[in-house]
Amino acid sequence: MRLAVALAVAAALLPSVAHANGRFPASVSVSVRPGDADDIYLGVTFGLLISHDDGASFRWVCEDALGYSGTFDPKYEIATDGTIYATTFEGLRISHDGGCTFTFATEDRPANDPGRFVGKWVDAIDLGPNGEVWVATAEGGLSNDVYRSTDGGRTFEPVGLASGEIWWKSLLVDQVDGKRVYVTGYQVTQQGPDGMPTPPTVHLRRSDDAGAHWTPLATTDIELGNAPLIRVEAVSPTNPDILFARSEGVRPPAGDLLYRSTTGGTSWTKVLETTAAIRAVVIRASGEVVVGTVGGGVFSSSDGGVSFGPMPSPPEMACLAERSDRTLLSCGANWSPDNFALGRSADAAAWSKVFRFVELKGPVTCEGRHTVCEDQWPALQTQLGIPVEVVADATPVDKGCGCEAGGAGAAAAGAIGLAMLVGLRRRRDCCR
């Protein structure tokens, strides 16, 4: 009874962080720094986790620091110099100091600047091979466009896809020379010849000259769901005419269709059907194509994506990326069945744990300044069951077992004491 009451008090007094948006803590995306084998950026349902030592340790950037809240997962891109780009409902957030501070792209531009898009939902982002930053907006009730920056996100220019009806939802740039760009969009309603509204439609565009001109591409080969949405998922690293696109929610209960094009998007062939939403499509340096879902299997193709087969014992793959050293990094279920939030593999078949949430080291440290994430850290520590480290002074303090308290431990009686309640079971082993 005493334990139940204590835990109830702890839950009442400590604010919620990991569950603030109503979701169970999970990893949802993974990004790597080009040409770097040590930096890993793991998107989670409660912010962003950053490692600079190949996953040996991770530190946390909270949602408030990133500039968003609620049930939302930013899309992240990392530049070769370590700049972090994160999409939000209010624009593109940029950090040049490892996640300590973020600013909104174009917020310093005049209101009449055609390249200003702060305040609009940025729903798609990609980086070109020469450092260009491409973003697309999908804001209701406003004009949307695709924008390109050649100066690291300091300034942007629209590329001629302005529309008050289309939401631009996905964007990919080829990594050969950056000239080929694919964009997809969703148009909720439009007016037919009789003046009556027509059903929602999808749009697919291609540019062969870095956005100077755009070619509309037909989507008649692609079967659409009731709420039609197509996303470009991957472009071949060696041939920009080869790409994959996903048609969302076509197969119940939440399955997608994956299509392959070898003609730069002018024609498409269906190559995979899934029962769960596709979360990742990666074309490996070897030519193998890996497709991941959560709960619906992981699929691999050894013939460039012409045909796919299921992988044995797959993780719950909410994300996937391949590093320059050809190591695969994948999201997994932090608890059962995978017991890793981030896993590693050489062949997409055998996976080993890199990181679990209980191993999180703390918030990102920012020299000379206190951050909002430091204020929120004790609550997150408690929720995830992360052991509490207490700084010792001349007075005996709790060493993590809850056997003694005083000095610094007593001064931190609020968050630290309550966090210890969650780990009472550890006392049986160490308080002896």
| Structural domains in the chain, sorted by start | 18-363 (2.130.10.10), 387-430 (no CATH)
pTM of the model: 0.86
Alpha-carbon separation of residue 384 from 311, 357, 390 (angstroms): 31, 7, 17
* Amino acid in position 427: R
Question: Which pLDDT score is estimated for 199?
Answer: 84
pLDDT averaged over consecutive 10-residue blocks of the chain (432 residues)?
A: 39 48 90 94 98 98 96 97 97 98 97 97 97 97 97 97 96 97 90 79 97 97 95 97 98 96 98 98 97 97 98 97 96 97 97 98 94 96 88 43 38 35 35 36
Strands (E), 208-363: 215-216, 230-235, 243-251, 255-261, 269-273, 278-283, 289-293, 298-301, 309-310, 320-322, 328-331, 342-345, 352-355, 362-363
Measured between alpha carbons, how far is 419 from 413 in angstroms, rounded to an integer? 9
Q: How far from each other are the two terminal CA atoms of the chain, in whole angstroms?
A: 23
Two structure tokens written together for 395: 């007075």
Measured between alpha carbons, how far is 88 from 65 in angstroms, rounded to an integer? 12
Question: Which pLDDT score is estimated for 18?
Answer: 58
Question: Which pLDDT score is estimated for 422?
Answer: 35
Measured between alpha carbons, how far is 410 from 191 in angstroms, rounded to an integer? 68
Question: Which pLDDT score is estimated for 402?
Answer: 43
How far, rounded to the nearest angstrom, does the alpha carbon of residue 31 sit from its chain's CA centroid?
Answer: 8
CB atoms within 10 A of CB 351: 23
Question: Which pLDDT score is estimated for 87?
Answer: 98
Length of the chain: 432
